[in-house]
Amino acid sequence: MKHAIITFEFLSWWHAGSGLGQGGATNALVIRDRDGLPYLPGKTVKGLLRDAFELAEQHSQLEGLRTATLFGPQDTSNWEPPGRAPGKIQVDNAYLTREAATWLLSEDKERMPALFHTVAATAIGENGVAERSTLRSTEVCPPMILKGRITCPDEVAFNELKRLAPLIRGVGKNRNRGLGRCQVTVGEAEGAKTKTSNITSPQPGNHHGVWLEITLASDVVFSANGATTSSHDSLDYIPGAALAGAAVDAGRKLGNRFDPHLFLGGKVRFGDGMPIENGRIGWPVPLNCCCEKSAGPVGTPINGLDLPQLVTDGKQPQQLRGGYLAIRPDGKSAVRFHVTGEYFLKTARDREKFGSAQEGQLFEFESLPAGRHFLACIRWDAALESPVRIQQIVAYMVANGIRLGRSKNAQFGSATVKLCSEERLKALGVDGSGNRLPAESPQPGTVPPKAAHFYLASDVSLSTGSAPRLGPKPEDFGLDGTRWELKAGWTFLRTRRYSPWVSFHQCRVTERQVLCRGSVITFTNNGGQPPDEEELKTVQSRLAKGVGEQIQDGLGWVLFNPGFVLNLPRLEKAEGGEGIRSEIPRENLDQPGLRRFVERGQIRTQIFNEALEDGLKWASRWWDMSQVAAKAAKLKNPGKSQWSEVRQLALQAQGNAGRLKKELTEFCTKTLRKRFWEQTTGQTTLWQELENVLKNALENPQPLSADTQPQHQRICLSLAIAAGEVIRLLQKNDSETGKIPRNGGLP
C-alpha cells in the first residue's frame, strides 16, 4: 500500500458547491468545514481523477491498469456477483495547509470574511439582452493551495496517478467557463508507513486483548438504519462490526485469507468505540437516570431504582434518553454530552448526461465529526490457536490507519489508531482487566444490596435458538434461574431493530432485534440471599465472554453493578466537544499569495467601514447647507444634479485623490455652478467644505496602512457616500412635500 499527497494549486477563482444557498444574498455557497474554511470533498477529487484515468484509457495510455479496478465499476445499478470491490484507491478531502488555516482562524476569525467573494451572472437571450429572472450569484474562493491524502494499492498505481493527475486543469463549478483553473501534482507522503514486515506486534499481557484509541481524520458515516428515504442519521459511536470489517481488510492486505473461525465464531470480539469527552470515556446514559421535569437534565438526578423516593417526594421524573456520561475521577459528578455530527447534502450523478444530477436522487446523511476520539477494545479467548494473526492485524491497523463506515473510499471514513497503555486507560476511567469495568468501584447506596443490576454498555442480542428474544432471563447473565427472577419495577429496557449491511456480499443480512445500550436489567433473589462467591465468579466469567449473540460485532458488552448506575453522579453541562476539525492533519506550507489577498480584503473592508462613517457624518452637515445654497442661487432642482455630478466624479476617480481634487476644482469654481458651491451659508461655503475635507485627509491620513493608496480610496469613497446620502435626503424631503413620487431613487 502506498500513501500519496495530491496538491491543488488554484490559479483563479474557484467554487466547490455545498448545494446550499443564502436566501436572496447568494444562490450557491462554497462548501466549508466546521471551522468555516473551504475544502475539496474527497468525492470531488476522486471523480476528477477518474475522469483523467478514463481519458487516458480511451486513448490507450493507461499501462497495465483498468479504471474500473482502481475506482470501482462505472454503473452499480446492475446486479453483480458477491465479492465485488468498490475500488482500490482511497481519497480523502483536500484541505488548506496548516499554516494557512491557523493564520486565517486567528484574530477571532476577522480574516474569514475577506476569504470569499461573490460573482454574478445572467443568461443572455437570442437578441443579446439579459433574460428576465436569470440573475444568479455564486460564492467563490481566491487562488490557494489545498492538499489531500490518497492511498494507492501499489507502486504501479502510484506512478500512474502521479503521471495522469496533471490532466486535471479545472475543478468545481463552471470549470469550463473560467472558474477553477488549477495545477495538480501528486507526490509521496512524507513519513508514510508503507512497510509492515518490521512492525512489532502489540503485547496484550494477561488480559488477551488490546485497547485502541481511534481518532477520526475525516468525517465518518454509520447509518443508524437501512431506510433509503428521508435523511440518514448516523450512530453516535463506532460499532464493533465496523472495526471488525477494518480488521478483515487489514488481514487481506497482509496476504491472509478470510478465516470465518477467527472473525465469525466469537473467539475474537471487537468492541464498540465509545466517545471520549474531556479526557474521560463516555458511557451511554443509564435509562434509570431521570431528572425533575421542571428542572432539566442538570444537577442531582433522580434514580429510577429508588421507587420510594419518587413516591414520597412527589417529583415528576423525566427519563433521560440518549447522550453519554463522562464520569469525573471522583465519581461524584459527570458531564452529560452528545456526539453531534454534520449533515451533508448529496445527489447521484448521471454520467450519460455529462455528470448532471440524476432526477430524484437527492439525499442527506449525517456524519460523525472529524477530530473526535473513541476508545474500543479487541479481546480474544485465551485458548485462541493463533493469536499472532490478530496481533499482526492490530499492528497493521496502528501503522497504516483504518477506513470506517459508508463511502470510506472517498471523502469519509479515514481514522488513525494507537494502542492505549494502562496509564492512559486509567486516566480515561476504564479498568483494562476483567470485564472492562469502569475504574470507579460500586458504592453502597439506597438500592437493595441483594439485587443484581446489569448495565448494557452495548446492544445485546438474545434468542431462543430460532428467533430473537427481547425478554432477558437470569441464565443469560450467568445467574441460576431457579434462585433469581426478573424484577420488572427495577428494570429499564428499550429495544430496536435493524438489518446490518455486509459490504463483501453487497446485501443486508437477517434483521436483528436487540436490547438497546443504556438499559438496566435487575434480578432479585427469591430466597432473600445475596449472590454467593461461586455465582459472582460465574457472572464475571459470563460477562467477560459477552452476553447473547453477535458478540464478535460488539454486542453483548454488559457491566455488573457499576457504581455510576447504582449511585447516579451529579450531572453537569458539557464544557466543550472533543470533535475539533482543526485537529485534521494538514501539511505545513506557506501561501504568500493567499495571505496578500486576504490582507487586501481586510483593508478594503476597513476602508468601506471608515468611509461609510465619514460620509454619513459629512452628509448630515452638508444637507442643510445645500438647501440654503440652492435657495440663494435660485436653482429649480435644489442641488440634486450638482451632488449627482460630485458623486460621479468621486466614483470615476478610482482612488486617485489628486485627480478628484483637480476635477472638483474645475467643476465647482467655474461657470455658473460656482453660484451654488461658493454661496455663503453661515461661515463657510460648500466648496470650502469639500476643499477642506480633501486637504485634511491628504495631509493627515489615518494610520490605515503604510501604503497611501488605500487612504486615497477611502477619501474618494467617503465623498461618494456623502454625496449619495445628500441626494437621498433631498429626495426624501421632496417626497414628503409632494414634489416627486415616493419611489424616487438614487441617480
Gap between the terminal Cα atoms of the chain: 66
At residue 382 the predicted structure's pLDDT band, cuts being 50, 70 and 90, is confident
pLDDT given for residue 410 in this prediction: 85
Side chain identity at residue 356, one-letter code: S
pLDDT at 83: 47
pLDDT for position 275: 93
Q: How sure is the predictor about 747, in pLDDT bands with cuts at 50, 70 and 90?
A: very low
- CATH topology (fold) of 204-285+322-440+566-579: Alpha-Beta Plaits (3.30.70)
Report residue 204's pLDDT band, with 50, 70 and 90 as the boundaries: very low
What's the CA gap between 494 and 518, in Å, rounded? Answer: 8
Task: State residue 576's pLDDT score.
Answer: 54
pLDDT score at 695: 77
| DSSP strands (E only) in 342-475 | 342-350, 356-367, 373-380, 402-403, 414-419, 452-456, 462-463, 468-469
pLDDT greater than 60 at residue 377: yes
Average pLDDT over residues 315-319: 77
Residue 638 binned pLDDT confidence (cut-offs 50, 70, 90): low
Alpha carbon distance 370, 219 (integer Å):
5
Of the pLDDT bands very low, low, confident and very high (cuts 50, 70, 90), residue 74 is low
Strand order in the sheet with 302-303: 302-303, 289-292, 317-319
Give the integer Cα–Cα distance in Å for 638 and 640.
Answer: 6
Give the whole-angstrom CA distance, residue 554 versus residue 734. 78
- Mean pLDDT confidence for 511-522: 91
Residue 375 has pLDDT above 90, yes or no: yes
Q: Three-state SS string across 75-106, please?
A: CCCCCCCCCCCCCCCEEEEEEECHHHHHHHHH
Radius of gyration of the chain (CA): 34
Helix H or strand E encompassing 137 = strand 136-140
Helix (H) or strand (E) holding 146: strand 145-152
For 393-444, how does the pLDDT look when each residue is reduced to its tens digit (9 = 90+)? 899 999 888 999 888 888 888 899 999 888 888 888 887 543 444 544 444 4
Higher-confidence residue of 122 and 24: namely 122
Is 523 in contact with 451 (CB distance < 8 Å)? yes
CATH topology of domain 443-561: Alpha-Beta Plaits (3.30.70)
Range among 150-154, 453-457, 592-596 with highest mean pLDDT value: 453-457
Per-residue pLDDT at 231 exceeds 70: no
Please report the pLDDT score of residue 121 as a whole number.
87
Percent of the chain with pLDDT over 90: 16
Query: What mean pLDDT, rounded, does the chain reach?
Result: 80
pLDDT of residue 202: 41
Least trusted range by pLDDT, from 115-129, 333-347, 624-638, 712-726: 624-638
- What is the residue-wise DSSP string for 519-534? -EEEEEETTS----HH
Q: Which residue has the higher pLDDT, 505 or 403?
A: 403
- DSSP letters of 566-633? HSPPEEEE----S--GGGS-------HHHHHHHHHHHHHHHHHHHHHHHHHHHHHHHHHHHHHHHHHT
pLDDT for residue 442: 43
Rounded alpha-carbon distances, angstroms, from residue 71 to 56, 183, 210, 386? 14, 22, 34, 35
Higher pLDDT, 315 or 577: 315
* pLDDT greater at residue 588 or residue 292: 292
* Best CA proximity match to 346, nearest among 434, 215, 221: 221
Given a contact cutoff of 8 angstroms between Cβ atoms, the answer to whether 518 and 494 are in contact is: yes
pLDDT over 80 (residue 551): yes
Cell of 129: 439582452
pLDDT, residue 313, reads: 61
Among the listed residues 103, 110, 105, 171, the one whose alpha carbon sits nearest the alpha carbon of residue 141: 171
Angle made by CA atoms 588, 118, 146, in degrees to the nearest 5: 20
**Residue (of 145, 147, 139) closest to 182 by Cα position:** 145
For a pLDDT cut of 70, what percent of the chain falls above it?
82
Q: What is the pLDDT of residues 641-668, one digit of tens each?
A: 888 888 888 888 877 777 888 888 888 8
Q: What is the mean pLDDT of residues 593-611?
A: 82
How far, in Å, CA of 744 to CA of 583, rounded? 54
Common-topology check for domains 204-285+322-440+566-579 and 443-561: yes
Rounded Cα distance between 691 and 715, Å, is 12
| pLDDT at residue number 68 | 83
Asked if pLDDT for residue 373 goes beyond 90, the answer is yes
pLDDT at 579 over 60: no
- pLDDT for the residue numbered 499: 83
Query: In the chain, what are the domain boundaries?
Result: 2-188, 204-285+322-440+566-579, 443-561, 592-737
The CB density around residue 700, as the number of other CB atoms within 10 Å, is 8
Structure confidence by residue, pLDDT tens digits, 123-170: 888 888 888 888 888 999 999 999 999 988 888 888 899 999 999 999
Answer yes or no: is pLDDT of 311 > 90: no
pLDDT level of residue 639 (50, 70, 90 thresholds): low
Tell whether pTM > 0.85: no
Predicted pLDDT of residue 84? 52
Comparison of pLDDT for 702 and 517, the residue scoring more: 517
- Single-letter amino acid, residue 563: G
- Is the Cβ–Cβ distance between 647 and 635 less than 8 Å? no
Is the pLDDT confidence value at 603 over 60?
A: yes
Q: Are 69 and 88 contacting, i.e. CB atoms less than 8 angstroms apart?
A: yes
Q: Return the pLDDT at 449.
A: 58
For range 219-230, the mean pLDDT: 74
Q: Which residue has the cell 462505472?
A: 74
d(CA 599, CA 592): 10
Q: What pLDDT, on the 0 to 100 scale, is given for residue 435?
A: 42
Comparison of pLDDT for 220 and 348, the residue scoring more? 220
Cα 141 to Cα 118: distance, rounded to the nearest angstrom: 9
What is the distance, to the nearest Å, from the Cα of residue 529 to the centroid of all Cα atoms in its chain?
53
User: In this model, does residue 697 exceed pLDDT 80?
Assistant: no
| Average pLDDT for 509-532 | 84
> Quick check: 262 pLDDT over 60?
yes
Q: pLDDT value at position 738?
A: 58
